[in-house]
Structure 1
Amino acid sequence: MTTAALPRVTVVAAQHRDAVLLVAQQQDAAALGVLCARSDDKEGRAALDRALAEAESRGCRVVHAPRTLTGESGTKEELLRQFLELRPQRLLLPDPDPVRVGYDRSAGVPLHDVPPEQAATALDALAAAREYQHSTGEPVFVDCRRAGADASADAATVVRYPCTTRWLTEGFDGRLSAFLPSAGGVLRWTQDEQGGRAWKGPELLAGPSLMPGLSVLRDQHGFVHLLALRRTPRKDGGEDVAVVKAAQYRAGGPLTPWHSLGSPNPGDRYKSREVGFPAAGFDASGTLFVFARNFGHSLSFRAQGADGRWAPWQHLRGARIADELVTVTTARGGVEVYARARDSTAVVRWHKSGAGGGWTEDRTALSAAPGSLSAGPEPGTLLFRDPHTNEPCVWQPGAVSAVPIGGADGVGPVTGVLGVQAEGWTYSALVRSGPGGSCVVGAHVQGRPDAGVWWNDLGAHSSRMPAMVHDRMGTVTLATVDVRGRLSWTSRLSPNGPFEFGSWHTT
């Protein structure tokens, strides 16, 4: 493959040694370049040279020697000039908001085990990439490496912002929409007509300066809701990070204005920056629950009733958790939330004890690989990867243990849909990333994951996790997106026949 045909990936780091793990994160072939905010010593430069040589052995093409910014006109401005020359399609950045390792109570400031220049470089790169995307119209996808992540961990498990799993959804009018985060904001693709083959997009939706992550959920009426994190400057210096929400009431129509839900730790320039990425779910009454990790590393939530009124943030005491949450809806219509423990692979669950009751914490016997938690297609079920075998597993309410379902060759979470009819049986269908980012689908008899899952690799390499939706017409549609921002989709050939899909179409 020629360099021109390879996806263009740019690593931005504070200095050469900081770029080593980011270069290692690019496992697929790419046209790869490195930009450093400042120079490094001989040892740091040599470490990066070795990392780039290893990347070339994986099929990457290093398009230029590592470049060091001059600092003469500001990091953001210099990065923008470099982006205009290099035209990156994907950015690999450090963590813009590293989690603290301690807290200096006398000074009132958190303590970190990474230099502050790393976060500053990431924020400058995000600002430059946002301006680049707005000025050129070219999508830029961003992955930030979580500070403190294990150097030997798989690339899919070290991202700062959780993988967007349910980014393909059916709207109120039956048309499908796809939503993904980018440097410039939310990208949207829209189906022209229900069940049709024509799509519009990607369209960059107007909105505030969002961090590169997104939660997508659908309410009982078919309206789509988006949640993200927004950074805003403070009058006293620094920046606040808040949870924000917008909704789409008509496929292809404008979003509502982004509404700030604030932070579990408002008013403090340091504490508000550590709000975790939101996870949300609707219960049977129409109440929306939004959860996030707070500064104390425990769980906080805010609820909006069916009448539209928001309750204040509430803190739930209990286990210290990582920034990895997932909500599930039970068969009775209740919302539960799962989180991975802060310093282990243990999974913790919170559930309500009846309507109007308080939240109860359970220390489950489950153990999940980082970055793999997701809601299962069936009510109350949880999907995750075993931390030792990498095999996806299904946990069902009341089960003594989880059920392994094969598929250890892939990475990241697994998601799916229920109620798929096939040759007289009802199945739950699943989708995941396979080797090299391919789209892999599977199915098991609904309610019986122990009966086995038959996985089928459909190809269609995707730079983001593939998505699946089961619409009101009974059609199952799969979608992938490449690093160039091109959406590909395929639909099941028959709503009741074998579980087979047609050819891929690209917008």
Structure 2
Amino acid sequence: MSRRSERRPGTESPSVAAGGRPHVVAVVVPEPADAVALVDLEPAGAEIAVVALRAGTQEGRGALDRALAAAADRGCGVLGAPRVLNGRDSADTVAALLDELRDLGPDRLHTLDPDPVHISFDRASGMPEYDVPPVHAETAAQALDAARAWQAESGRPLSVDCHRAGSDPGLGAASCRRYPAPATWLSAGFDGRLTAFLPTAAGLVRRYQDASGRWSGPEPVEGAGLLPGLFVARDPQGFPHVFGLRRTARGDGGVDVEVVHTAQYRTDGPLTPWHSLGGPNTSDWRKGRSVGFPAAAFDAAGGLHVFVRNFGHSISRRGQAADGSWPAWEHLRGTRVGDDLVAVTAPHGGVEVYARKRDAPGAVRWFPGGPGGAWTEDAALPFAPRPGTLAPAPEAGAVLFRDLRTNEACLWRPGMQAPCPLGEARGSGPLGALRGVEHRGWTYSVLTAVAQDGTHLVGAYPEGRPDAGVWWQDLGAPSREAPAAAVSRTGQLTVASRVSGRHLLLARRDERVDGFSLGDWQRART
């Protein structure tokens, strides 16, 4: 059963609160034909500009013209004809792309995957084989270089989506992202102040509240080569830890891609230096560059466990020992998986990991249930998640996802015969989750989601009882980022939305109203 409250008339929407500035999206591709799938993903309201390195074929240009016409029909703006650079070499191309970004001033950049996942491996030559031409990865790397330079120059955070090769645009934008958009980017410190961690073209940017409640400006966190994605996990003491991927050039013309980690132990203090965890295939950079995005969780004793999809399309794990050291990566052999991994802390206090199957609909779960704590695989889970939607649930050991066939938001935990549907939360992308929200002596779990029409949703249900029904509230007009929620030590529930440029919007629970009604969107004070 599901209950939903409609947005009250006259409340402020994210787009209005941000000043009504158009949301400009730059699409950077090798040729016009390569932009078609990226344009098709863009929802209504964006102003789209396509930048191509080459003119391409007449057929490709025609396909893009049709895609842009369809975008205009659904409510997008089109900023002129595709811009064709015809650059001569890499340095010229990056400089030309930077000039285009200066002219456009984009809020978001769509490009391809700089490190595509291989489809086969030639053992004779020792070379991975791909189903996309090398120029796709080269263009994506050049676009990222230009985007980092523009963000450093302008001081404006720039969101970046890298389109995963072989993904299905019909399943939505979240299913196509090489670096996932986080649903856990808002965190509350021990002092009750909030911190927002945001992935951008230039890596991690954060904003935090000072003692008066005002927010700092977007503050870049030092770290060259960070890719535009992040995952935030809280340790048992409540401190946020941020995980990502770092890409650096090698002297031999290759690139190294490694898992990195930092932590924040004081709201207004510096984060710890980035700590490299390497990767499971770093002995060969050609294999190591295709590593999946990390998932992480802490066990009840405070031990940190990090998981990635490795070159062989299975899962590798690295855990921190009690003395603080990091033993080598461990390979969990079994079912081949896609890029979607989620790690959770189970009721028994240990950590388990879920993944979407690569070669068939479905999901798998690994847990330390074998002799001596050996990892055991359960490949017979009763659900198939949509790519890009697996996420930790509020309850220990449970996961959230959208059903592959119906797109319905669901929760599942071990022991359930079938997933629990979460009601009126059909939409796109992963759900965010928060537990331990107190109200009138009861404890609730809170969910955040993006609805079918792009509006923000917040849901609540008695903790541990999603089957009792989720009460959903619509928080207003569409935004370009998934919302996130946090609760302070004093019990204040806040939902945050990131909109164009530097803006951050907040909605807080209205304590004057019974239930979980949230007030109007307010721009974060700076």
Could you say which TM-score interval applies, normalised by the shorter chain?
over 0.9
User: Kindly tell me: are residues 354 and 429 of structure 1, through their superposed partners in 2, closer, same or farther at Cα, counting changes over 3 Å?
Assistant: farther
Task: Give the structure, 1 or 2, with the largest relative contact order (CA under 8 Å, sep 6 or more).
Answer: 2
Residue 87 of structure 1: aligned partner: 105
Residue 474 of structure 1: aligned partner: 491
User: Kindly tell me: are residues 443 and 151 of structure 1, through their superposed partners in 2, closer, same or farther at Cα, counting changes over 3 Å?
Assistant: closer
Aligned length in residues: 505
Deviation at 1:426, TM superposition (A): 2.8
Which of 232, 237, 252 is equivalent to 1:216?
A: 232
The one-character-per-residue Cα deviations of 1:404-428 (angstroms, maximum 9, x if unpaired) are 1113531111122223233454321
Which of 203, 206, 209 is equivalent to 2:222?
A: 206
The one-character-per-residue Cα deviations of 1:38-78 (angstroms, maximum 9, x if unpaired) are 12111011111111111111221211210111214621111
Q: Is the 8 A contact 2:28 2:143 kept in 1?
A: yes
Residue 410 of structure 1: aligned partner: 427
Which of 349, 353, 359 is equivalent to 1:333?
A: 349
Deviation at 1:197, TM superposition (A): 4.2
The one-character-per-residue Cα deviations of 1:152-198 (angstroms, maximum 9, x if unpaired) are 222232111122011101224332111010001211110123xx642
Q: What residue identity is the alignment partner of 1:155?
A: A
SS of the counterpart of 2:180? Answer: coil
Residue 67 of structure 1: aligned partner: 83
The one-character-per-residue Cα deviations of 1:383-440 (angstroms, maximum 9, x if unpaired) are 1111111111111231111111113531111122223233454321111111343210
Residue 158 of structure 1: aligned partner: 176
Residue 310 of structure 1: aligned partner: 326
Deviation at 1:308, TM superposition (A): 1.6
**Does 1:384 find its partner at 2:401?**
yes
Separation in 2, partners of 1:462, 1:251: 26
Which of 427, 446, 458 is equivalent to 2:475?
A: 458
Question: Any residues of structure 2 matched to 1:106-121 within 5 Å, and which?
Answer: 106-121=124-139
Q: Is the 8 A contact 2:425 2:449 kept in 1?
A: no
**Does 1:12 find its partner at 2:9?**
no
Please give the root-mean-square deviation of Cα atoms over the aligned residues, in Å: 2.0
Q: Is the 8 A contact 2:391 2:401 kept in 1?
A: yes
Q: Is the 8 A contact 2:203 2:223 kept in 1?
A: yes
| Structure 2: runs of 5+ lacking an equivalent | 1-14
Separation in 2, partners of 1:476, 1:14: 45
Residue 349 of structure 1: aligned partner: 365
Question: Any residues of structure 2 matched to 1:478-497 within 5 Å, and which?
Answer: 478-494=495-511, 497=514
Q: Which moved more, 1:334-343 or 1:467-476?
A: 467-476
The one-character-per-residue Cα deviations of 1:325-373 (angstroms, maximum 9, x if unpaired) are 0011122321111000112331100111289611111112221111111
Which of 261, 267, 273 is equivalent to 1:257?
A: 273
**Does 1:443 find its partner at 2:460?**
yes
Q: Is the 8 A contact 1:92 1:145 kept in 2?
A: yes
Separation in 1, partners of 2:231, 2:518: 27
Residue 233 of structure 1: aligned partner: 249
Which of 259, 272, 275 is equivalent to 1:243?
A: 259
User: Kindly tell me: are residues 377 and 108 of structure 1, through their superposed partners in 2, closer, same or farther at Cα, counting changes over 3 Å?
Assistant: same
Separation in 2, partners of 1:479, 1:4: 18
SS of the counterpart of 2:217? Answer: strand
Q: What residue identity is the alignment partner of 2:256?
A: D
User: Kindly tell me: are residues 416 and 359 of structure 1, through their superposed partners in 2, closer, same or farther at Cα, counting changes over 3 Å?
Assistant: same
Deviation at 1:298, TM superposition (A): 0.6
Residue 53 of structure 2: aligned partner: 37
Separation in 1, partners of 2:216, 2:514: 30
User: Kindly tell me: are residues 4 and 216 of structure 1, through their superposed partners in 2, closer, same or farther at Cα, counting changes over 3 Å?
Assistant: closer
SS of the counterpart of 2:382? Answer: strand
SS of the counterpart of 1:274? Answer: coil
**Does 1:298 find its partner at 2:307?**
no
The one-character-per-residue Cα deviations of 1:249-288 (angstroms, maximum 9, x if unpaired) are 2112212111111110012121011111000011011110
Separation in 1, partners of 2:268, 2:111: 31
User: Kindly tell me: are residues 382 and 126 of structure 1, through their superposed partners in 2, closer, same or farther at Cα, counting changes over 3 Å?
Assistant: same
Residue 123 of structure 1: aligned partner: 141
Separation in 1, partners of 2:510, 2:169: 43
SS of the counterpart of 1:201? Answer: coil
Q: Is the 8 A contact 2:195 2:207 kept in 1?
A: yes
| Structure 1: runs of 5+ lacking an equivalent | none
The one-character-per-residue Cα deviations of 1:277-321 (angstroms, maximum 9, x if unpaired) are 000011011110000010000100111134321111110110100
Percent identity between the two aligned chains = 50
Residue 373 of structure 1: aligned partner: 390
Q: What residue identity is the alignment partner of 2:263?
A: A
Q: Is the 8 A contact 1:390 1:408 kept in 2?
A: no
Separation in 2, partners of 1:96, 1:168: 28
Q: Is the 8 A contact 1:423 1:497 kept in 2?
A: no
SS of the counterpart of 1:52? Answer: helix
SS of the counterpart of 1:91? Answer: strand
Residue 174 of structure 1: aligned partner: 192
Deviation at 1:114, TM superposition (A): 0.9
User: Kindly tell me: are residues 284 and 408 of structure 1, through their superposed partners in 2, closer, same or farther at Cα, counting changes over 3 Å?
Assistant: closer
Q: What residue identity is the alignment partner of 2:140?
A: A
Which of 403, 419, 431 is equivalent to 2:448?
A: 431
Q: Which moved more, 1:126-135 or 1:80-89?
A: 80-89
